[in-house]
Amino acid sequence: MRLSHVVLCLGLGFGIALATVMPALAQQRTAPTPTPRPAAPGQPPASRPAARPPAATAAAADLAFGAYQRGQYLTAMREATQRVETAPDAVTMTLLGELHANGLGVPQNDQKALGWYRLAADRGDRNAIFAIGMMHVDARAGLVRDPAAVKALFERAAALGHPAAGYNLGIMAMSGQGGPADAAQAARWFQSSADLGNADAQYALAVLLKDGNGVPADPVRAADYMAKAARQDLVEAEIDYGVMLFNGQGVAKDEAAAARLFRRAALRGNPLAMNRYARLLASGRGVAADPQAAAQWHTAARLLGAEDAWLSDFVAKLDPVQREAAERGARIWLR
């Protein structure tokens, strides 16, 4: 889950107000990474183990992890099991925990997963420490939902450079889990995680900087972090950065760039982005006016729950043939 938001009052001038609502903690897969790898779009950078194993150990771990990455879970399980029987290392133990936790190549078993995670955590593996924290959050393997224990585990993982751990600590600080609600502390955790490349933290920090919540309001820094999150394909950031671009808020005004972001998020199925893009198509702002396309995007957004009286009135004034084509096109696209 991510820091959720609602963008209100979208007229042709895109008046903006953000209302932040704290969700549950980020549910992130904790696959170990024996060697650094480029991050996939929208994902935090690959984690590095606390202590780099010798070359032979790394090669063995990579063999199991490579199979895991390709979805060859039976092979990953076999290679990882052979590895820990001959020369155990924390990275491979964490991988075994991941396979058992998610039932990949082996029947799902929380107790076995926790056992492997604990062995790896004792050896300083930050992914394993984070995974145990998430098992507490989800009350798996007989663990209780203990905010103090979760906080301590996330702090350990964050100290070792786990990007999602810092983000989750920020969420806990904002919502008062494990202590009093503290927006300033949340901002510090989001900052540390954002600077490690975590897109959710970049977005969360941008919201706080924009609203002056826990930190002094800083539209320019807010736009910078929002742009970073948008470049990682975080759809919420694409929408909010599009609004900032449209308004010239903390960044040079660029309606065409805003339109491109709204369209990209709309094509990913986000109804709020569909609504924003439909308004631009209807008004010819940042993109060539196209009433039928505007009607189609509005219809798709409306069918997904994003109502808009202004656009509904705009569509009602179109030629009946255009309206029918837009309705049909929206339903076909959604299917």
pLDDT tens for residues 250-288?
A: 999 999 999 999 999 999 999 999 999 999 999 999 999
Confidence of residue 87 (pLDDT cuts 50, 70, 90): confident
Task: Report yes or no on 132 lying in a domain.
Answer: yes
- In this prediction, residue 54 carries a pLDDT of 34
DSSP code at position 5: E
54 and 156 in a single domain? The answer is yes
Same domain, 262 and 177: yes
pLDDT in tens, 36-54: 222 222 333 333 223 333 3
Q: Which residues contact 71 (CB under 8 A, 6 or more apart)?
A: none
Tokens of 157: 């993982």
Give the chain's mean pLDDT. Answer: 85
For residues 297-319, average pLDDT: 96
| Whole-prediction pTM | 0.81
**Does residue 218 share a domain with residue 101?**
yes
Task: Read off the pLDDT band of 9 (50, 70, 90).
Answer: very low
For the cut 90, the answer to whether the pLDDT of residue 333 exceeds it is: yes
Residue 15 resides in a domain: no
Domain count, the chain: 2
**pLDDT value for 26:** 60
Residues of the domain holding 313: 271-335
- pLDDT score for 301: 97
Predicted confidence at residue 61, as pLDDT, reads: 60
Residue 40 is predicted with a pLDDT of 28
324 and 277 both lie in a single domain: yes
| pLDDT-derived band at 27, boundaries 50, 70, 90 | low
Rounded to 10 degrees, the C-alpha dihedral 124/56/32/79 comes to: -120
User: Tens digit of pLDDT for each residue in 149-204?
Assistant: 999 999 999 999 999 999 999 999 999 988 899 999 999 999 999 999 999 999 99
End of a domain among 270, 297, 313? 270
If asked whether residues 306 and 242 sit together in one domain, one would say no
302 falls within a domain: yes
State the average pLDDT over residues 88-96: 95
Residue 136 falls within a domain, yes or no?
yes
Average pLDDT over residues 93-117: 97
Quick one: pLDDT band at residue 15, thresholds 50, 70, 90? very low
Residues 6+ apart with CB under 8 A from 171: 3, 22, 23, 24, 25, 26, 177, 186, 204
* Domain finish residue from 250, 270, 290: 270
Q: Is the domain of 251 the same as that of 277?
A: no
With a cut of 80, say whether residue 13 has pLDDT above it: no
* Sign of the alpha-carbon torsion through 297, 303, 308, 309: positive
Residues linked to residue 5 through DSSP beta bridges, in sequence order:
20
Does 286 lie in the same domain as 244? no
Q: Has residue 318 got a pLDDT over 90?
A: yes
